[in-house]
Amino acid sequence: MMTETQIPPANDEDRESASESLPRTLIGRITRLEIIVGALIAAVMLLLVLLEPDILEAPFENERTLLFTVGGTVLAAVAFVAMLWLRVPAVIRVIVLVVPFVIVNWWLLSPYFIDDVVDEEFSTSISAQLGAEETDQAPTAPATPDAGEEPATDAAPPAAPIEGDEGATASEPTEAESPAPPAAAEPVLLGAGQFVGLAGHSGTGDAGIFQNPDGSLVLRFENFDIENGPDLEVYLVPGPDQTSLPEGSIHLGALKGNIGDQNYELPPGTELAPGEYTVLVWCEAFSVEFVGATIAI
């Protein structure tokens, strides 16, 4: 008579040894290639941090950057463990993890080391028009006669008529003495302000809103110099010292450069009511403000 062989149930010690062997098994599948690539990436990141310490602050600027950093790291770790479990070849594991890592970090970190310099011309400048306003508003002292000089009491006699032409006088301007035509109209500065750094970023420069002779509006940056960043956009926001994008904000396009003079045309037909506005350089990637300048018009 045949007897059935009974397999003894696994006890707690067998289960613990099995759970301990799983991590060891997965770690044992990590190849020398992956260790070398990981060491090279760590060395490069350490070098970048030494060259630009501000990189360490980037993941903690706001909740979105923190979520992006932590979430991306956790996702990469889960993918790596899954590929080890499924015995995906080491070369494919390296490609799947390293290529996205390099692309994302180049997009995020390269602005810290690369400056985009622009130099756009304009028919006038913020400094020139502010200087002209100060000159026009400066009080002029009345002229006083020098000591010992007798003030003139009699007005000069009228010029005598020229003989042969009773209707003409010497005081009438001749054709050569006619007044010069008025100068060509130029853009008028409606208001200006200075950039300040926001959310831990640094920046300097001037921002001014000009009205062209045809009525169109232009936002101009002068002496502009800020730290670079990914996906930077320019907005004109109602209200002073704004650090967000409320309703009514006007998008003026991507930032042309983090250094230099540049112009941004407001949409045709835009009319700005008198009041205060904030020129805001905004990072779309992480929804965080970079620099701003308050302008009163």
> Is the pLDDT confidence value at 96 over 90?
yes
Residue 168, pLDDT score: 43
Q: Is 193 exposed, middle or buried (0-12, 13-18, 19+ CB in 10 A)?
A: buried
> Is the pLDDT confidence value at 43 over 80?
yes
Q: Is the dihedral of CA 59, 64, 66, 71 positive or negative?
A: negative
- Confidence (pTM): 0.69
Least confident of 1-10, 21-30, 31-40, 161-170: 161-170
What pLDDT digit, counting tens, does each position of 170-192 carry? Answer: 444 444 555 554 455 889 999 99
Residue 110's pLDDT band, with cuts at 50, 70 and 90, is confident
What pLDDT digit, counting tens, does each position of 2-28 carry? Answer: 454 555 555 555 555 555 688 889 899
> Is the pLDDT confidence value at 251 over 60?
yes
Residue 250, pLDDT score: 97
Residue 184, pLDDT score: 53
> Is the pLDDT confidence value at 108 over 50?
yes
Count CB atoms within 10 A of the CB of residue 191: 18
